[in-house]
Amino acid sequence: MLLFSVLDCASYKTDSGRKLIWSDEFNGKGLPDSSKWNYDVGGGGFGNEEAQYYTKDRPENARIENGNLVIEARKEAWDKNKYTSARLLTKGKFSFQYGTIEVRAKLPKGRGTWPAIWMMSENMKKWPDDGELDIMEHVGFNPGYIHASVHTKKYNHIKGTQKTDTLIVNDASERYHVYKADWTPEKIEVYIDDKKFFTYENEEKTNEAWPFNRPYYIILNLAIGGFWGGKEGIDDSIFPQKYYIDYVRVYQNK
């Protein structure tokens, strides 16, 4: 685990020499751009015992506002669930193989919240065999602890073998930070505001350990509860909670 002191995001500099191949700056207003984003819809926990119902095309849960994508979790009954939220994904609209993804975001807070920035295989047939890359996960009962992980057939949390690390960002729910992953055929490196804290290398050269040789799509979501996010319960007094995403940018590797 690395301890990350507060860093002014204004000091974060992007490399102007990189080629931007996809982005959403979340300008304008209304619903998210349907040419770029799909939704996962439903309740039932999504395999993680989560408590929310993910809605579609509902501005109360996902909207463009003041230059941000706002994903809002609300305490409200919806189809046998006690909460609503949203999960947006680029599956079927954009995927990429190798490159750099940057997401500038301010996280929700409070016990029971579980926001994430992550990626999965465009042609996912079986989890975790086809891989998962978690660029940012934050569980509200442990504020400021930002986690990055990979899940593969050989290394995953079901077996207790997942590859993961943590960086403490004390103001993650008060200020915007840039969450970044650099992905090459040799390794995946994850950063917060240019501070690298997680590396996963392609050492074994097998599909069981490295399924990251195929196109992946992007997922942004705010879960409530679940086997991890709800480990210490859900504080109903915190709602509504908002997850602000300023932009998502994907660059081609040099």
Strand 68-78 to 241-252 pairing: antiparallel
What distances in angstroms separate CA 228 from CA 32, 34, 71, 80, 241, one per listed residue? 28, 30, 20, 21, 18
Q: Which of 50, 72, 102, 132 is catalytic?
A: 132
Residue 204 annotated as catalytic: no
Q: Are 41 and 54 in contact (CB under 8 A)?
A: yes
Longest C-alpha distance within the chain, in Å? 50
Alpha-carbon distance 206 to 13, whole Å? 35
- Six token digits for residue 63: 């909207």
**Helix, strand, or coil (residue 9):** helix
* Nearest Cα to Cα of residue 41 among 31, 49, 53: 53
Measure the CA dihedral 185/47/228/134, to 10°: 20
Q: Which of 50, 137, 203, 232 is catalytic?
A: 137
Residue 208 annotated as catalytic: no
Alpha-carbon distance 82 to 46, whole Å? 15
What distances in angstroms separate CA 245 from CA 17, 18, 135, 161, 248, one per listed residue? 24, 22, 14, 31, 8
Catalytic residues, by residue number, are 132, 137
